């Protein structure tokens, strides 16, 4: 499975180096755009002449186009990252979603909106994987957890900024323009970073690079890849279902002033908590010298918080939003999730894995919603609370088993190539 390519260690010993800064800011703009649609969805569609139930239907259509783009882009950028380099992907993905953002601010029809959400999704798919891969390869193994923590923490704060920008300007087109301009400005920082030594070494080897199909042709490698995906699924159940549809849950729970609960505000509170969760999980994993132990702790906490959230009857709107923030904190193992994925595979397919895994987790949202809808409509006669608890528990069990099967990677030397001929 492994072929050593070098015994050299990364030369960049500073945690806050150029690679970490660019990757963090790139992911910031990534999350800004990813969550922006959910924040401006209703107002933007109404401005385009969509009313009534069509807002929900067209919104589902647009988010599906974005997610399809991310699934396709995840594979595309992952392969290119291993074949052409991590820096090339950072540049290409940032440029693509920046142009798409600006174009989104100019659309006058739903079809044009959908097309540019598709293009944006393709662009957004490359940023995180390329950034995390570059950071893990550029720092010594005892420091790379700090580097990925910075990337994830700065990145997820983009959701909070997206909400604040919209609240300040109340103009959905301006919000998209802002995201596009931020991305283009970020491109100028790209010139300050270079490829990791590990990537340069593997380029000189005879191993196949960016072989996406190799993840499915070897049983052990495939299951390791699948496990990396499954440990992240609970995150997007919480964000994509419980938080996104928080107004509906608030109504059923009898939250005081439930009619004032806004999904955009719930998302902002959730991601505020996620910022602190990423910091906590990153620091704890470094202090405990273990990724798995800390992730288990967060998975258990997340499962508990889902049950607390879905049984919070009659609470105030303020308390409800605080719960959203604590829920966000409970999925703050996102930084560990992407780090573990990067640490499981060799340099010649690392970018492919690290780029596709989080995008497959994001892209699994329609399947998660389908499972949730099955329990809600077919098993529990429309009971959204019971359905949420059962699905949350089910996904926790799946993620816990998947994590148990993965090896601890804290001390793993990443300077090797994967033998994809097996």
Confidence at 6, pLDDT banded by 50, 70, 90: very low
CATH topology of domain 12-194+212-418: Growth Hormone; Chain: A; (1.20.1250)
SS3 31: helix
Nearest to 127, CA basis, from 242, 55, 29: 29
Backbone angles phi, psi at 108, to 5 degrees: -125, -5
Q: Report helix, strand or coil for 162.
A: helix
pLDDT, one tens digit per residue, over 85-104 is 888 888 889 899 999 999 99
- Considering the chain, what is the average pLDDT of its residues? 87
Rama region for 346: left / alpha / beta (φ>0; ψ in -120 to 50; rest): beta
Instruction: State residue 7's pLDDT score.
Output: 38
- Report the distance separating Cα 228 and Cα 358, nearest Å: 9
Report domain extents, the chain.
12-194+212-418
Query: Which pTM value belongs to this model?
Result: 0.85
DSSP H or E segment with residue 336: helix 334-343
Q: What is the mean pLDDT of residues 312-336?
A: 94
| Residue 206 banded pLDDT, cuts 50, 70, 90 | low
In this predicted model, what pLDDT tens digit does every residue of 116-161 receive, in sequence order?
Answer: 999 999 998 888 888 888 888 888 878 888 888 898 888 888 888 9
> pLDDT band at residue 204, thresholds of 50, 70 and 90?
low
Kindly report, residue by residue over 263-303, the tens digit of the pLDDT.
888 988 999 999 899 999 999 999 999 999 999 999 999 99
Lowest-pLDDT range, 57-61, 106-110, 158-162, 281-285?
57-61
What is the Cα–Cα distance from 51 to 111, expressed in whole angstroms? Answer: 16
The set of residues, in sequence order, having a beta carbon less than 8 Å from that of 199 and lying 6+ positions away, is: 85, 86, 137, 347
* Phi, psi of 21, rounded to the nearest 5 degrees: -65, -50
Q: Residue 200: what pLDDT?
A: 63
**Residue 397 CB contacts under 8 Å (≥ 6 apart), including other chains:** none
Residue 207 has pLDDT above 80, yes or no: no
Span 317-345, average pLDDT: 92
Q: Using 50, 70 and 90 to split pLDDT, how confident is the model at 348?
A: confident
- Closest by Cα among 27, 34, 41, 52 to 113: 41
| Residue scoring higher pLDDT (331 or 410) | 331
pLDDT at position 145: 85
């Amino acid at each position: 499975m492994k072929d050593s390519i070098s015994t050299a260690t990364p030369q960049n010993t500073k945690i806050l180096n150029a690679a970490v800064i660019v990757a963090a800011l790139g992911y910031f703009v990534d999350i800004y755009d990813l969550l922006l649609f959910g924040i401006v969805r209703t107002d933007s569609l109404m401005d385009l002449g969509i009313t009534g139930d069509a807002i929900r239907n067209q919104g589902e259509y647009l988010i599906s186009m974005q997610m399809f783009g991310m699934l396709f882009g995840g594979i595309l950028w992952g392969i290119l990252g291993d074949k052409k380099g991590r820096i090339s992907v950072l540049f290409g993905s940032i440029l693509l979603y920046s142009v798409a953002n600006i174009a989104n601010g100019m659309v006058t029809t739903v079809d044009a909106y959908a097309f540019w959400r598709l293009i944006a999704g393709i662009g957004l798919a490359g940023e995180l994987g390329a950034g995390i891969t570059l950071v893990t390869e550029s720092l010594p193994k005892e420091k790379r957890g700090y580097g990925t923590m910075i990337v994830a923490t700065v990145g997820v704060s983009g959701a909070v900024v997206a909400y604040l920008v919209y609240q300040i300007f109340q103009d959905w087109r301006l919000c998209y323009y802002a995201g596009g301009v931020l991305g283009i400005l970020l491109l100028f920082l790209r010139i300050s970073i270079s490829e990791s030594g590990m990537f340069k070494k593997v380029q000189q080897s005879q191993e196949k690079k960016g072989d996406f199909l190799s993840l499915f042709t070897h049983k052990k490698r495939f299951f390791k890849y699948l496990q990396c995906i499954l440990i992240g699924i609970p995150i997007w159940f919480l964000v994509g279902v419980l938080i996104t549809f928080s107004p509906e849950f608030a109504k059923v729970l009898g939250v005081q002033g439930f009619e004032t609960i806004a999904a955009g505000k719930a998302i902002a509170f959730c991601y505020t908590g996620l910022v602190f969760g990423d910091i906590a999980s990153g620091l704890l994993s470094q202090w405990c010298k273990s990724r798995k132990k800390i992730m288990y702790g967060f998975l258990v906490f997340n499962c508990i918080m889902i049950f607390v959230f879905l049984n919070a009857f009659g609470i105030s709107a303020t308390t409800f939003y605080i719960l959203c923030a604590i829920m966000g904190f409970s999925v703050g193992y996102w930084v560990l999730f992407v780090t573990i994925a990067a640490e499981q595979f060799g340099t010649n397919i690392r970018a492919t894995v690290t780029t596709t895994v989080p995008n497959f987790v994001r892209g699994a949202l329609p399947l998660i919603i389908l499972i949730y809808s099955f329990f809600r409509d077919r098993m529990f006669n429309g009971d959204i609370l019971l359905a949420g608890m059962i699905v949350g528990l089910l996904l926790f069990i799946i993620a816990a088993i998947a994590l148990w099967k993965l090896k601890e990677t804290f001390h793993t030397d990443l300077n090797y190539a994967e033998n994809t001929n097996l």
